[in-house]
Chains A and B, each alone.
Chain A
Amino acid sequence: MPFIEAIRLALAQIRVQKLKSFFTLLGVTIGVMFLIAVVSIVEGMSSYMEHDFVGKLIGVNTVTLRHIPEIGGDMSEAEWREMLRRPRILITDVKPVVDALPPGTQWSAEGYDNVAIASQWAKPTMLQASAVEGDYFSIREMNMERGRVLTQQEMALGTPVVVIGQEIATRFFPKLDPLNRQLKVAGLPYTVVGVAESQGSIFGISLDRFVIAPYRSPLRHVVNRPLVIDAVKIKATGDADMAEIQENIRQVMRGRHKLRPSQPDNFAIETSESALSFWANIKSKLVIAGVVLPAIGLVVGAIVIMNIMLVAVAERTREIGIRKALGARRRDIMSQFLVEAATLSTIGAAIGIGIGILLAQVIAAVSPLPATIAPWSIIAGVLVGAGVGIISGIYPASRASRLDPISALRQE
């Protein structure tokens, strides 16, 4: 029997028993729905991580030196206490580190903390303020919406000027041009020289709440103890060897911290790769959950389909007898029931894909989790649906195909 004919027959059969068919394919629908939804969320987070998160927070080709890693994996209590005892990175570490790197390498040093910010139009609020030095703005690839970035001269002199984020601008200078107006940072007046372009958000947290002042301005005394800084960022030029840069930084810092060869590093060197590998670790766990949970639904769905198909074979024994008498071969009967099972479960999968996409969109809309519908997950959903149908249909179909036509015809 031609394939199209078999599908038409299967659809007719499904149409006749709508309710039964619906319950039959429920398991597959739910399984595929969760598969699509979970994969969409994980993929969404993943593309977010790879394109936005890492780019915004760390930057490509960028190495960050900290005393404690910002993005860390699982950590024991003892490890955590060890980290808290580590010596801080000092502003005096910056020059030796930079000197060990190839000429032309960009660098920046920053110290930050939450400090009271106020203006004459808004009450004081605790917000993050950074004291920065070096090529901070070009490493962050931060462009100004209005005004300008901090100049080398302002950095060198510690002039009390600031670059602010979008949210700071709207909150402290409502409906006003913030440029050349006064912003009080930890009680001291700073002149706004630039407003940065919107930096977007991460998981619903805005990245536009920041104030940046020169390191040598009084802000440095507020955010950290003397000489202490929080991070040194290094950006390699195009083709530089990232591993070599990391190793150079490491050797300089080990020297400055007077570590013996047997002692482990007491500082952290982070790259976009290390952040991504942390994410990959989380992602693999999420994907396992995203595959195992739907798999349970699919197994249940397969068992249901197999049962229903066995019932169908029993109910339609006479029909099978008639078809055999009229010239249906074993493989015709076999393919009829296989196609029926596969069609049934593919329809289930299609419904599951639809609901799954909807579910992912709803989750994306009501929560900060992003969702990206991966085309491969739709193809996988369809294939899984058809596969479940075929696998669960094999046994009932082969039973049907082996029926003896004489006794099948005699059945009431």
Chain B
Amino acid sequence: MQSTEEVPMSVTAERQVVTQQAGVAPDKDWVIVTRGLKREYDMGGEIVRALRGVDVAIRRNEYVAIMGPSGSGKSTLMNLIGCLDTPDAGEYWLSGNLVSSMADDELARVRNREIGFVFQTFNLLPRATALHNVELPLVYAGVPADERKKRAQGALERVQLGDRMTHRPNELSGGQRQRVAIARALVNEPSILLADEPTGNLDSTTSEEIMRVFEGLATGGQTVIMVTHEPDIAAHARRVIVLRDGMVESDDRRERFAEKIQLGGAAAIHK
């Protein structure tokens, strides 16, 4: 079993150990550890159990895709990982800090310092230039104006948009907008890059372009977490977590995931 399984047993076992030690702060090397994460919504009197106890452990420098059909809870999990929401039960440790018990302002600080968001709809400020959009996280981090500008310029150059800094979002193509968003996500050097359907609004060529950017970032040591419902996008990640009905259904390396798709067909994952 161990020889066919490309993930060494020791890593999986380690993950299991770290997700079982309730109340214990994980080692710094574990960027994300969730233990029994639960989240329920009241939809007009009907209780929807979006997450029913999710245990996930992600190490620094991993490139992970979170997959699942709609209603699987992947958006809820992304909101929790992104500190936009707090769980009803369970623990969420981000970079060794217990985020699940934090108050509003602390969560804002964590979002600012630890997380870089990339959204499906880009979510750039329409009236601000690319440069100003990228500067925004630094504004809330309290970085002085001249340093802010320098760092934002650097981030835009890293995504090959050095010549588009003064353009507004409506003057940029979809791929360029998403690259501005990636520059904005990275400008504060976050622990994780959290992408929500990053190619959802892009054609396949541009999607490949964005995936190459992600690949480059992951190779460079950036922790990347990507939520998607497209198996071929998920297949770019090195590890794929599949959610179903608010639980983790599978957690495999890319190669194993690709095998499964071929065995069961995309429909088995996609439903």
Contact = CB atoms under 8 A, between A and B. Distances in A.
A binds B: yes
A326 B136 contact: yes
B127 A406 contact: no
Interface in A379-412: 405-406, 409
Contacts of B140: 1, 323, 326-329, 332
A295 interface: no
Interface stretch (B24-32, B102-110, B221-229): B102-110
Nearest to A412: B121
Interface in A1-54: 1-2, 5, 12, 16
User: Which DSSP category, helix, strand, loop or mixed, fits chain B's interface?
Assistant: helix
Given A325-B82, A325-B84, A405-B84, A330 B105 contact: yes
B182 to A, nearest CB: 13
B17 interface: no
B231 to A, nearest CB: 25
A1 B139 contact: yes
B104 A329 contact: yes
B36 interface: no
Nearest to B110: A327
A172 to B, nearest CB: 75
Nearest to B119: A409
B175 interface: no
A49 to B, nearest CB: 53
B105 A329 contact: yes
B113 interface: yes
Contacts of A323: 136, 140
B141 interface: yes
Given A5-B139, A16-B127, A326 B112 contact: yes
Contacts of B85: 406
A222 interface: no
B139 A322 contact: no
A319 interface: yes
Interface string B184-207: 100010000000000000000000
Given A324-B108, A326-B117, A318 B127 contact: no
B175 to A, nearest CB: 20
A331 B108 CA distance: 11
B79 interface: yes
Interface in A300-340: 318-319, 321-332
Contact of B137 (A321, A326, A409): A326
A327 B137 contact: yes
Most buried by A among B105, B125, B136, B139: B139
Nearest to A318: B123
Most buried by B among A2, A318, A324, A331: A324
Contact of B113 (A12, A16, A327): A327
Nearest to A6: B139
Contacts of B84: 324-325, 405-406, 409
A258 B145 CA distance: 88
Contacts of B141: 327
A164 B49 CA distance: 103
B151 interface: no
B59 interface: no
Interface string B105-143: 100110111000101000111010000000011011110
Contacts of A321: 123
Contacts of B79: 406
Given A319-B125, A406-B85, A409-B123, A325 B111 contact: yes
B244 to A, nearest CB: 22
A5 B149 CA distance: 14
A342 to B, nearest CB: 19
A332 to B, nearest CB: 6
Contact of B184 (A1, A12, A16, A326): A326
13 contacts: A2-B142, A16-B127, A318-B123, A322-B123, A323-B140, A324-B84, A324-B111, A326-B137, A327-B141, A327-B188, A329-B109, A330-B105, A409-B84
Given A327-B141, A409-B84, 11 more contacts: A1-B139, A318-B123, A319-B125, A325-B123, A326-B184, A327-B111, A327-B113, A327-B140, A328-B140, A329-B104, A329-B108
Interface of B: 79, 82, 84-85, 104-105, 108-109, 111-113, 117, 119, 123-125, 127, 136-137, 139-142, 145, 184, 188
Give 8 closest A-B pairs by Cβ, nearest first. A327-B112, A327-B140, A329-B108, A326-B137, A329-B105, A322-B123, A405-B84, A327-B111
